[in-house]
Amino acid sequence: MLTIDYANCLSSRVGPHGLDPDRLADGGELAKAAAAMTAKLNASRGKGWERWRELHRDPMRAEHVQAVNDAAAKVRAHFKGEPENLVVLGIGGSALGNIALQAALNPATHNLLPSGQRSGPRIFVIDNVDPAYFASVMDFCKTNGGWDKTLFNVISKSGETAETASQFMIVRDILNDALGKNAKHHVVAVTDPAKGTMRQICDFEGYTTMPVPDGVGGRFSVLSPVGLFSAAMTGIDINALLDGAAEMDQRCTKPELGKNPAAMLAALLVELGTRNGKINHVMMPYANNLYLLADWFRQLWAESLGKRVDNTGAVVNTGFTPIKALGTTDQHSQVQLYREGPNDKVLGLLDVTELSEDPANIPSGLGVETLTYLEGSSLAALLAAEKRATEYALVESQRPNFTITFPRVDAHHVGEFIYLWEMVTAYAGLMLNIDAYDQPAVELGKQATFGLMGRKGYSEFKSKVDEGLAETGYRM
Ligand code: PA5
């Protein structure tokens, strides 16, 4: 079970930069508010945009696990084993979870290992339209396994996302040219089960598909086939992920603030953010494999909570800037700022009790007196000491911080972590009285792109862009 230590967010540790513990204690104002919000969330679960809370429960869970296993079996039957390469095409909520799961649960060297030594295919998640990046992955696949050993997993709920659609159009052409009628076996799509452009394409082409259910937005979709298919193909235990989410779900339905980690983290972050000026929220894992979970968190926190208006229509321009950092690496890059710069941050440190590999102890025998303190110790001990030392140094500068501890980095605990932050986001949305599930500000850029790329019906946006960004001469 993940544990959360929030003592360093309290005024008893960080003075006026922390919260009064009485407000969080039983009967305290924040505890009462949390109980009311929990009742509200328990009542709304599974409805509207809260269907993501059902992903780890039957019937949705069973349906998705079945769909993923069937699709994987079909792929393996066609490829007569594992494909050599799995290329995921998607962006935002249709990519960040996949990337985070791979980084957390497969070795950093996964793609470098020979096929007998890695679980499933090499995996590439192309979440950008940088042509050089795209071409480099495509060239690699073409020459390492070739198209007949490469599977594409296109993920788009809408099917209209310009980045994913354009990548898909290129890939479809390549596969059709190279593989003819077999091309359809090399694309597995995750999209809306009933509507949308991608759905139509899949039905027409005869691709195997899996659903992104209604009411599950992109950034809340990692525990649906969006994240589960590529995870299952690369040996990640998807049932353990979902079990972890289910375990965290139990904790997050408890009315007592002191027993509900999501309500507690939301209370700390929103209160410190809105009343104490801590508007930047840093997630700093002390484990490389957790670093990209911080990237997944960035989207969840930014897109869900960064809103112009609240639910009454009042302009609030609320939200917190999520920042990712890595311990110990960023102790040598960012901690100077975190300790002596503006006191406008809360740091969430992630640590791991049982690091999976701790090679041989640091040997003795070098004979350099200033380094003898390291002899006989281990990298894990050094990492833990550095984390504790940094925590202490942050407290000394009255910088609020908390620690989430993973007993181990495995699928179960990663599932817990994912569900925890989705729930923290739901609580934070309630506390801020905003819609955590929309992203209206993303639209204008999309429409302007359509206009600039000549999409029918969007020419007015091209004119507006040209006018708004007209040359002024302020250029050097
Ligand atoms: O969180 C979100 O809703 C977005 O990041 C989407 O996932 C992203 O824009 C991709 O959308 P789609 O899956 O429709 O291609």
- Single out the residue in 236, 270, 298 at which a domain terminates: 236
User: Does a structural domain hold residue 59?
Assistant: yes
Q: Which atom of ligand 1 is least distant from the CA of 92?
A: 5
Sign of the CA dihedral with 175 first, then 176, 182, and 183 last: positive
131 in the same domain as 85? yes
| Residue 36, SS3 per DSSP | helix
CA 56 – ligand 1 centroid, Å: 21
Whether ligand 1 lies within 6 angstroms of the CB of 92 is answered as yes
352 in the same domain as 275? yes
Catalytic residue numbers read: 303, 332, 446
| Residue 284, SS3 per DSSP | strand
Taking alpha carbons only, the member of 267, 353, 289, 373 closest to residue 36 is 267
Whether ligand 1 lies within 6 angstroms of the CB of 327 is answered as no
DSSP category for residue 181: G
Q: Which atom of ligand 1 is least distant from the CA of 217?
A: 3
pLDDT tens for each residue of the chain, 476 residues long: 999 999 999 999 999 999 999 999 999 999 999 999 999 999 999 999 999 999 999 999 999 999 999 999 999 999 999 999 999 999 999 999 999 999 999 999 999 999 999 999 999 999 999 999 999 999 999 999 999 999 999 999 988 899 999 999 999 999 999 999 999 999 999 999 999 999 999 999 999 999 998 999 999 999 999 999 999 999 999 999 999 999 999 999 999 999 999 999 999 999 999 999 999 999 999 999 999 999 999 999 999 999 999 999 999 999 999 999 999 999 999 999 999 999 999 999 999 998 877 766 899 888 899 999 999 899 999 999 999 999 999 999 999 999 999 999 999 999 999 999 999 999 999 999 999 999 999 999 999 999 999 999 999 999 999 999 999 999 99
225 in the same domain as 246? no
Q: Which atom of ligand 1 is least distant from the CA of 165?
A: 15
Q: Which atom of ligand 1 is least distant from the CA of 95?
A: 7
CA distance 136 to 439: 32
247 in the same domain as 227? no
Residue nearest to atom 3 of ligand 1 (CA): 218
CA 192 – ligand 1 centroid, Å: 12
CA 319 – ligand 1 centroid, Å: 20
Whether ligand 1 lies within 6 angstroms of the CB of 157 is answered as yes
- What are the respective helix, strand and coil percentages of the chain, to the nearest 5? 55, 15, 30
What's the pLDDT score for residue 367?
87
User: Does a structural domain hold residue 438?
Assistant: no
- Single out the residue in 207, 236, 265 at which a domain terminates: 236
User: Does a structural domain hold residue 54?
Assistant: yes
DSSP category for residue 118: S
Residue nearest to atom 2 of ligand 1 (CA): 218
User: Does a structural domain hold residue 230?
Assistant: yes
CA 156 – ligand 1 centroid, Å: 7
Tokens of 285: 């894992």
User: Does a structural domain hold residue 439?
Assistant: no
Whether ligand 1 lies within 6 angstroms of the CB of 198 is answered as no
User: Does a structural domain hold residue 466?
Assistant: no
CA 218 – ligand 1 centroid, Å: 5
225 in the same domain as 84? yes
Whether ligand 1 lies within 6 angstroms of the CB of 425 is answered as no
Q: How far is CA 182 from CA 79, 297, 301, 348, 406, in A?
A: 11, 38, 41, 48, 44
The preferred substitution site among 157, 209, 221 for testing ligand 1, maximizing ligand atoms within 8 Å of CB, is 157
13 in the same domain as 153? no
CA 186 – ligand 1 centroid, Å: 23
Q: Which atom of ligand 1 is least distant from the CA of 94?
A: 7
Q: Hey, which residues does 154 pair with through a beta bridge?
A: 89, 189
Whether ligand 1 lies within 6 angstroms of the CB of 156 is answered as yes
Report the C-alpha dihedral over residues 169, 440, 319, 299, rounded to 10 degrees. -10
DSSP string, 294-353: HHHHHHHHHHHH-EEE-TTS-EEEE--EEEE--TTGGGGTTHHHHHHS-S-EEEEEEEES
Sheet of 208-211, strands arranged across: 122-126, 85-89, 150-155, 187-191, 208-211
CA 219 – ligand 1 centroid, Å: 7
Q: Which atom of ligand 1 is least distant from the CA of 196?
A: 14
151 in the same domain as 230? yes
283 in the same domain as 158? no
294 in the same domain as 206? no
Whether ligand 1 lies within 6 angstroms of the CB of 227 is answered as no
- Single out the residue in 191, 209, 236 at which a domain terminates: 236
Domain total in the chain: 2
What's the pLDDT score for residue 316?
98
The preferred substitution site among 91, 195, 422 for testing ligand 1, maximizing ligand atoms within 8 Å of CB, is 91
What's the pLDDT score for residue 132?
98
User: Does a structural domain hold residue 442?
Assistant: no
Which CATH number does the domain housing residue 226 bear? 3.40.50.10490
The preferred substitution site among 52, 154, 158, 446 for testing ligand 1, maximizing ligand atoms within 8 Å of CB, is 158
183 in the same domain as 96? yes
User: Does a structural domain hold residue 463?
Assistant: no
What is the span of the domain harbouring residue 94? 49-236
395 in the same domain as 274? yes
260 in the same domain as 163? no
pTM of the model: 0.97
